[in-house]
Amino acid sequence: MSAPLTATAIAHPNIALVKYWGKRDVAENLPAVGSLSLTLDAIRSRTRVRFEPGRKGDHVLLDGREDQAAALRVSACLDLLREAAGVTHGALVDTDNDFPTAAGLASSASGFAALVTAAAAALGLRLPLHELCRMARIGSGSAPRSLFGGFVLLQPSPDGDVGVEPLLAPDSWPLRVIIAITAAGPKAMGSRAGMAASRDTSPFYSEWLRSHPADLRAGRRCVEARDFPALAELAEASCLKMHAVMLATRPPLIYWSPATLACLQVVQALRRDGVPVFFTIDAGPQLKAVCEPAAAATVHEALAAVPGVVRLIDSGLGPGAHCIDD
Ligand code: DP6
C-alpha cells in the first residue's frame, strides 16, 4: 500500500516533576540529565503534515503564521523521517496550539511529538518507538515524553542516547494539574539559549548534574509507590534547584513574575494546611499546581484569587501522541 502522504496528529504538553535543564550534545540535542513528567489532557498541539512529491523545502505554519526559527527545527526533524522513508518530498506543516505558545507551557514538546507522529504516518513508516523518540528529541528534548501518556521517565542510557519509559497510565494515578497563567506572551529567553548560558556561566550547573541521578531515582520510587507527599517534596526541590541554576546564570534567567511567586506561596500555605498540592514552574511565569483530585476545586479557587493570574487551566492526565482523522 502506498503512503497516504498526509496525516494529522494530536499531542498533549507534559509537565516535568524532575526537571531537564542542560544538554550533553547540542548538535544531537541530547539532554544532560533525565526527567520525569506527566502528560496533560486539557491542552493540545494539533499538527497536519502533507508531503508533496517534487516540492523543494518545507513550509511551516505555527498558529497560522510563518515562523522561521520553528521552520528550521521542523525541517531538521522531517529530514530524519524522509531519510528513513527514502524520499525527498518537501512538506506543508500546519500546527496549532490551543494554549499560549512559547510561554513555558511545553509547546515545543507537544508540537514535536505531534509532528513526528503525523509525519511517520504520512510516510507510512512503522518505526520502533526508540527511533520515533530519537526523532522527536532532535526537535525538542522534552518531546519524547509527550509521545506517551500518564507518568513518563526519560533516562540517559549507557549507550549515550536517552531511553523513554512510561511508568504509569493516566488512570493509574489520576492527579489533577491546575495551571495558573500569569502572562501569555513569549518568554524572554528560550530554553535552548538559556541552557547553553547556564552550562557556560552558572556556578551551580555542575552540582545540578551531579545530584540529578539521585533525584530521578527518587522520582521513580515516588510514582511507583503513588506516594504524594514524597513526590510533592521532591518535585518542588527539583524545580527550585533548576531555578537556582537559572538565577545564577549570567545574565540571569529570571522566568518568574511577581504573580508566579504569589501563586507559589499560596500553594505552600495550602499544603501547610493539609491540602495535597505542590507546585512546579518551567522556563516561563506560569505556575503548575499538581494535586489530588479531591483538592482540585480548593486549589483552583485559591489560585484564581491571586492578583495577576489571568487564566486558569484545569487538567487531568492525558494520553500519548496519536493520529486523528484528517
Ligand atoms: C524548563 O524541551 O523546551 O521545561 O530541548 O531545547 O527544546 P529543548 O528544551 P525544552 O526544555 C524544557 C525545559 C523545562 C524543564 C522540563 O520540561 O524538563
Question: Taking the domains of the chain in order of start, what are their residue ranges?
Answer: 6-170, 176-315
Q: Tell me: the pLDDT tens digits for 128-180? A: 999 999 999 999 999 999 999 999 999 988 787 889 999 999 999 999 999 99
Q: Which atom of ligand 1 is nearest to the CA of 141?
A: 5
38 lines ligand 1 (CB under 6 A): no
Rounded-to-integer distance, Cα 98 and Cα 76, Å: 25
Residue type, 85: A
Query: Mean pLDDT, to the nearest integer, of 185-209?
Result: 91
Phi-psi region of 21 (alpha: psi -120 to 50; beta: other; left: phi over 0): beta
Global pTM value? 0.96
pLDDT higher than 70, residue 185: no
Angle, alpha carbons 64-69-71 (nearest 5°): 60
Residue 105 binned pLDDT confidence (cut-offs 50, 70, 90) = confident
Assign domain 176-315 to its CATH architecture.
2-Layer Sandwich (3.30)
Report the atom number in ligand 1 closest to the C-alpha of 108: 3
Write the Ramachandran bin of 152: left for phi over 0, alpha for psi from -120 to 50, otherwise beta. Answer: beta
Please write the tens of the pLDDT for every residue from 83-95. 999 999 999 999 9
Task: Answer whether 14 contacts ligand 1 (Cβ < 6 A).
Answer: no
Q: What are phi and psi of 143, to 5 degrees?
A: -65, -35
Top-level CATH class of 6-170? alpha beta
Let me know if the fold of 6-170 is the same as that of 176-315: no
